[in-house]
């Protein structure tokens, strides 16, 4: 599958939401095409380069994003709320004449193949407390407290992690490993798990 690639200084997790302010011409065109066709784009963490200007070098694993909400408060600016759906691996990339990166991608399975193991019930409880405090409307719905990857990704979004650490979480292939690392990160923050 070929999709436009949006290299960013942040990581989008499956099931997560990402607010974006679009103003560069290549991404304005990408946004218009995605809205017109109902098509997705890919979000990848930048390995080298910057978000604005010359095309950055993306990480090889990213997240497919779909536009959930949009607004155009003034001509030449889109405000988007994108939602992550699936992980993907970049197989190949090319730059089109507008400077937009187009990626040939293969989707990767989500690391959620079993219910949350009992030893991580406290992680689920913690997420429920966070949701109560901030409000359900701040998280993507529906809540999937029985899905260990969904729980781990949501907790990771609240942890004060650098983008490379978030990228490593995105790249993990099993739910047990993902949940175990997030639980360890919570303990390092002084949270009793």
Mean pLDDT for 79-101 is: 95
**pTM of the complete model:** 0.89
- CA quadruple 81, 85, 89, 93: dihedral, nearest 10: -40
Whether residue 131 is found in the same domain as residue 84: no
Q: What count of residues does the chain have?
A: 193
Cα separation of 17 and 57, whole Å?
Answer: 23
Whether residue 11 is found in the same domain as residue 65: yes
Whether residue 19 is found in the same domain as residue 98: yes
Cα separation of 135 and 166, whole Å?
Answer: 23
Cα separation of 148 and 127, whole Å?
Answer: 11
Q: What is the pLDDT of residues 7-18, one digit of tens each?
A: 999 999 999 999
Mean pLDDT for 31-44 is: 97
Tell me whether residue 193 is in a domain.
Answer: no
Q: Which helix (H) or strand (E) segment is 40 a member of?
A: none
What pLDDT does residue 17 have?
93
- What proportion of the chain, given as a percentage, has pLDDT over 70? 94
CATH number at residue 40: 2.30.130.40
Q: What is the pLDDT of residues 107-163, one digit of tens each?
A: 998 876 577 777 788 888 888 888 888 887 777 778 888 888 999 999 999 889 999
Expressed as residue numbers, the domain containing 130 is 118-188
Q: Longest Cα pair distance anywhere in the chain, in angstroms?
A: 52
Q: What is the pLDDT of residues 176-191, one digit of tens each?
A: 889 889 988 888 887 7
Whether residue 127 is found in the same domain as residue 91: no
Beta carbons within 10 angstroms of residue 111's beta carbon: 23
């Amino acid at each position: 599958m070929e999709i436009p690639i949006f290299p960013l200084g942040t990581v989008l997790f499956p099931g997560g939401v990402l607010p974006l302010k679009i103003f560069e011409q290549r991404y304005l065109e990408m946004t218009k095409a995605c809205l017109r066709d109902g098509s997705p784009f890919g979000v990848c963490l930048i390995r080298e380069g910057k978000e604005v200007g010359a095309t950055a070098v993306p990480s090889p694993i990213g997240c497919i994003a779909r536009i959930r909400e949009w607004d155009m408060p003034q001509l030449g600016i889109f405000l988007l709320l994108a939602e992550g759906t699936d992980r993907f691996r970049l197989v190949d990339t090319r730059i089109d004449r507008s400077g937009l990166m187009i990626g040939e991608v293969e989707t990767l399975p989500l690391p959620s193949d079993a219910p949350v193991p009992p030893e991580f019930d406290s992680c689920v409880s913690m997420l429920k407390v966070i949701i109560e405090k901030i409000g359900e409307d701040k998280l993507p719905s529906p809540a999937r407290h029985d899905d260990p990857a969904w729980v781990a990704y949501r907790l990771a979004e609240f942890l004060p992690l650098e983008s490379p650490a978030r990228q490593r979480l995105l790249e993990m292939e099993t739910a047990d490993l993902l949940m175990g690392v997030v639980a360890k990160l919570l303990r390092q923050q002084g949270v009793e798990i």
